[in-house]
Amino acid sequence: MPITATTVVQNYKMKNYLIVIVGPTAIGKTRAAIEIARHFHSEIVSCDSRQLYKEMKIGTAVPTAEELSAVPHHFIQNKSIFDDYSVGDYEREVLPLLDALFIKNPVQVLVGGSGLYVDAVLKGFDEFPELSSEIKEEIERDYQKYGITYLQEELEKLDPQYFLFLRDTNPQTLLNPQRMKRFVGVCKSSGMPYSSFLCKNESNRNFTPIIIGLEADREIMYRRIEKRVDQMMKDGLLEEVIQHHQYKHLNALQTVGYREFFSFLDGEISLETAVNEVKKNTRRFAKRQLTWFKRSENTKWFDYQSDLQNIIQHIKQQIQ
């Protein structure tokens, strides 16, 4: 007998489960999430820090209209590049949404490649240590002497993982002296990376995560990325970037796939170089995504070509 939304609720009504699909860009997370959500009659919550923005459709590989109609999606193109939106805002909005979705069906799907956003959903943000006046004065003195470059270099040294995350997803933050002083201050005061204080409050979650990772050999992953970029160009990525050129200073647009073409439009590089830079920077980003997600020992990894029925069977074993 086929599974229905009613039988899902009956079988799993005592506990909420969040199926989390992670992995590098262009690996096939959307396809897998849709099939899994259809099987469990769930909805999909996107966990992508750029697909949020309605003006950034092609360059962020937003699911197609057909894919979006297959299963209800949330947090897809629901914000504007003109909105001041952060991972903290996302956490505050996504948790009530999940609560509402779990009332309808205790099995729901989260999908995305933004590691910090995934961690925010699963764990939340923890308490940060207080900064001593001595640390604050030292950082302020060095900032006045050496400028923002000093803060950037200190963060890269003290918390390279978080530095790369900011560089890839929100580079404008690296130019914000107040926030950078805070990041460096936490590192110096605690002797630990700033990112180690993020996303640790797991006790507040009312669901059990089942984390599924998709991966491929590096050369296959790179070919998929290059193929996707080529398709984006055919779909009109350059035209999309041209429309937003005047807003290139906005945080949302400071990301791979847009920065490179802004350099082309500013006459700094050729179009061919811009396309090659997008491919190169996307490959680097994918490597860092894998590094981030591989930290978790709770993730069950599957080859991107795995039969989805095998993945679904694994999930069912976890929730029965």
Binding residues for substrate: 25-30
Note whether 86 and 252 are within 8 A (CB): no
Note whether 174 and 152 are within 8 A (CB): yes
Angstrom distance (rounded) from CA 38 to CA 92: 27
The single-letter DSSP state of residue 297 is: T
Helix (H, G, I), strand (E, B) or coil at 35: helix
Angstrom distance (rounded) from CA 49 to CA 281: 17
How many C-beta neighbours within 10 Å does residue 316 have? Answer: 16
Which of 311, 167, 143, 159 shows the shortest CA–CA distance to 251? 167
Phi, psi of 169 (to 5 degrees): -115, -25
Q: Which residues are annotated as a binding site for ATP?
A: 23-30
Angstrom distance (rounded) from CA 264 to CA 268: 6
Q: Which residues are annotated as a binding site?
A: 23-30
Amino acid present at 163: F
Spell out the SS3 assignment of 152-198.
HHHHHHHCHHHHHHHHHHCHHHHHCHHHHHHHHHHHHHHCCCHHHHC
Which of 198, 191, 115 shows the shortest CA–CA distance to 158? 191
Angstrom distance (rounded) from CA 51 to CA 81: 11
| C-alpha R_g of the chain | 21
